[in-house]
């Protein structure tokens, strides 16, 4: 996900009133069939100070030092992950990295995070190692695997794209960038980035780049998310036939595609079939192939944002029941799109909306 939760929380906090107006499909034949994903940046991302029923907290680090008596973490299966200050929460585990966290992602090989001085750190459950510096604190990682990517400024002042493997504990690629360099997504061994104004897919194993058809320099499309080879991207609504600005989904960015959601940020389901977005002040979920609205029915909340996925058909939803200034009270839900049913996973009370750092790679502040 590319900052949907962060943006929504800021818009809520800055709003004068509680209500806020939020303004492919087939992967390449060589791509492997994925296991069902459990995405990072889930419900715990907004639970700063919250009480989670039934959850246990196992301190793994104190003051940045490993606690040898603590239970280890398996990072291969994504878990609810978020940070508050220097405290990082991964599922039922909590550890202190000794430095306030600015952004973070989860990989198969551990947590990668930035601190306020833009330094990038890798924590593998035992040790913490500095691995680089990220401009804008922006990190990108896939829902599975060990790759993480960011933009770094070289000694000569020029931007570079960096790709690191947390399992191999090594930098796999460092590519020259240019003004406006940006990493959009990581998906199945490929990094999606900007090159000379074009949108490009860099295949890490082959060390080759290919411009995405329909995303040549001068096109307005931006990549929103990539899942199983499907691309979610922006369309501006100015070309004949697409009618409205928003997000479209396809195998390649096409500025004349019809927008599925009138939004600027969103999250694709693990198999690329569904798009979740914040549209017109509430959550919206659309089928990518025919645009069918499959948004589950949820009653009793003032604000709803579907921002991530824990399975091909199960979305995670931030549901705010009360807002007092910049502080919110509500629930985290999982909603099964197929069954049109939602369940409360955990609850939060009187939480500062902007005082948390959800996993996903974007800074909360």
pLDDT in tens, 273-329: 999 998 887 899 999 999 999 999 999 999 888 877 778 898 878 788 989 888 878
pLDDT in tens, 192-211: 999 888 889 999 999 999 98
Quickly count: other Cβ atoms within 10 Å of residue 273's Cβ.
21
Cβ proximity of 227 and 269 under 8 Å: yes
pLDDT band at 11 (very low <50, low <70, confident <90, very high): low
Q: Which two tokens stand for residue 84?
A: 């508050």
Give the position of tokens 């459990």: 38
pLDDT at residue number 51: 26
The pLDDT mean for the chain works out to: 77
Greatest mean pLDDT among 68-82, 164-178, 211-225: 164-178
pLDDT band at 238 (very low <50, low <70, confident <90, very high): low
pLDDT band at 71 (very low <50, low <70, confident <90, very high): very low
How far is CA 159 from its chain centroid?
Answer: 23
Structural domains in the chain, CATH included, are 4-358 (2.130.10)
- 206-225 b/e with 16+ CB inside 10 Å = b? eeeeeebebbeeebebbbbb
Query: Does the CA dihedral 301-278-79-85 come out positive or negative?
Result: negative
**Range name among 70-79, 196-205, 220-229, 279-288 with the lowest pLDDT average:** 70-79
């Amino acid at each position: 996900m590319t900052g949907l939760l962060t943006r929504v929380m800021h818009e809520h906090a800055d709003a004068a009133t509680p209500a806020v107006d939020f303004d492919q499909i087939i992967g390449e034949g060589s791509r492997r069939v994925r296991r069902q994903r459990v995405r990072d940046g889930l419900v715990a991302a907004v639970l700063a100070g919250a009480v989670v029923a039934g959850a246990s907290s196992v301190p793994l680090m104190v003051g940045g030092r490993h606690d040898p008596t603590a239970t280890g973490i398996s990072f291969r299966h994504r878990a609810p992950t978020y940070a508050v200050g220097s405290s990082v929460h991964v599922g039922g585990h909590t550890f202190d990295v000794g430095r306030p966290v600015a952004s973070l992602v989860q990989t198969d090989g551990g947590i990668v995070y930035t601190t306020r001085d833009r330094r990038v750190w890798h924590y593998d459950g035992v040790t913490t190692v500095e691995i680089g510096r990220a401009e804008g604190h922006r990190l990108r990682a896939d829902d599975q695997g060990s790759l993480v990517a960011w933009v770094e400024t070289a000694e000569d002042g020029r931007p570079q794209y960096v790709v690191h493997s947390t399992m191999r504990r090594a930098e796999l690629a460092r590519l020259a960038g240019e003004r406006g360099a940006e990493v959009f997504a990581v998906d199945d061994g490929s990094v999606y980035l900007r090159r000379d104004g074009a949108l490009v897919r860099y295949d890490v194993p082959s060390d080759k780049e290919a411009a995405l058809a329909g995303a040549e320099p001068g096109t307005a499309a931006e990549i929103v998310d990539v899942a199983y080879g499907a691309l979610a991207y922006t369309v501006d609504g100015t070309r004949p036939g697409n009618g409205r600005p928003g997000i479209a989904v396809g195998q390649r960015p096409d500025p004349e595609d019809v927008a599925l959601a009138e939004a600027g940020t969103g999250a694709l389901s693990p198999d690329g079939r569904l798009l979740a977005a914040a549209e017109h002040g509430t959550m919206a979920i659309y089928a990518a192939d025919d645009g069918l609205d499959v948004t589950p029915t949820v009653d009793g909340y003032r604000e709803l944002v579907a921002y991530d996925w824990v399975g091909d058909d199960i979305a995670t939803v931030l549901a705010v029941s009360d807002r007092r200034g910049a502080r919110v009270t509500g629930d985290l839900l999982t909603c099964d799109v197929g069954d049109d049913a939602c369940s409360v996973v955990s609850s939060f009370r009187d939480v500062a909306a902007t005082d948390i750092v959800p996993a996903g790679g974007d800074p909360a502040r």
